[in-house]
Copies of this chain bind each other. A is one copy, B any other.
Amino acid sequence: MAVTSFESSLRQRCSNCSLREICLPLGLDAEELGRLDELVKRRRRVFAGQHLFRAGDPLQALAAVRTGFFKIYEVSAGGHEQITAFPMEGELMGLDAISADVHRGNALALEDSEVCEIPFTKLEGLLSDLPRLQHQFHKLLSGAIGNDHGLMMVLGTMTAELKVAAFLLNLADRLEARGQPRAIIHLPMSREEIGNYLGLKLETVSRMFSKLRDDGLIVTEGRKTEIRNYAALKDLCLQGSAHA
């Protein structure tokens, strides 16, 4: 018992979370963190292939990825699937559900994962009391819009090669923001899922991986990818969208 309570006080708190600089509680003081801590239901496990929520589910809680990787996909009226995000550690899922109190997207774990759940109604109550948390939450929502615009730019302006390059760079930068080496990327998603996300067919994605490999920008070993020349990859993206 003593051990359990020790562990829970040590590990299961936002204040000790290694993701607190990325996740919701960024920039809160100890008292504010304590209030938030009370709300958060931590370390719910979601195994690879399982859904955390599905489109149509009522919004109960927002979820932050603690460990692992998810894909969020929406299904159109015509039945087509479109992946809208690949959330990783520290990223929130379900923000688009606030609008209608119902999830638009489906959240599927790509590998065994853990999430922290934050009951949304309770969170909104807390936001009224804690202006800094409120502002932080607005920044998160706004940032999600900005991320989506970034993807629109990729989808709307880039060729297949640039899309794949931008995809890898995006992952690299997000890994780096978490203190991990940006050069080594383990892709938990298939070529088909990457293609769906980027508006390409899986064969095209595969071809572009091969091309980037042949050009010496990356090294591929199945789903393990290493960025060999980050600067060149970045240049490729920049100059690529410049010719318009």
Q: Does A170 contact B (CB under 8 A)?
A: no
Residue in chain B with minimal CB distance to A82: B153
Q: Does A173 contact B (CB under 8 A)?
A: no
Can you list, as one digit per residue, whether each of A125-145 has a CB less than 8 Å from chain B (1) or not (0)? 101110100110011111111
Can you list, as one digit per residue, whether each of A41-81 has a CB less than 8 Å from chain B (1) or not (0)? 00000000000000000000000000000000010111111
Binds B, one of A32-40, A93-101, A182-190: A93-101
Tell me how many chains of this kind the complex includes: 2
Q: Does A196 contact B (CB under 8 A)?
A: yes
Max chain B Cβ within 10 angstroms of own Cβ: one of A82, A139, A238, A244: A82
* Contact status A97-B142, CB under 8 Å: yes
Q: Which residues of B contact A241 (CB under 8 A)?
A: 76, 78-80
Q: Does A181 contact B (CB under 8 A)?
A: no
Interface size classification for chain A: 35 or more
* Contact status A196-B145, CB under 8 Å: no
* Contact status A139-B80, CB under 8 Å: no
Can you list, as one digit per residue, whether each of A89-120 has a CB less than 8 Å from chain B (1) or not (0)? 00000011111100011000000000000000
Min distance, Cβ A121 to any Cβ of chain B, angstroms: 9
Can you list, as one digit per residue, whether each of A149-170 has a CB less than 8 Å from chain B (1) or not (0)? 1011101110000000000000
Per the bound structure, the CA–CA distance linking A141 and B140 in Å amounts to 10
* Given known contacts A78-B240, A78-B242, A99-B142, A131 and B128 CB-to-CB distance under 8 angstroms: yes
Q: Which residues of B contact A141 (CB under 8 A)?
A: 95, 98, 138, 141-142, 145
Residue in chain B with minimal CB distance to A81: B244
Q: Which residues of B contact A240 (CB under 8 A)?
A: 78
The 6 closest A-B pairs by CB, nearest first: A98-B142, A80-B241, A78-B241, A156-B199, A148-B148, A99-B142
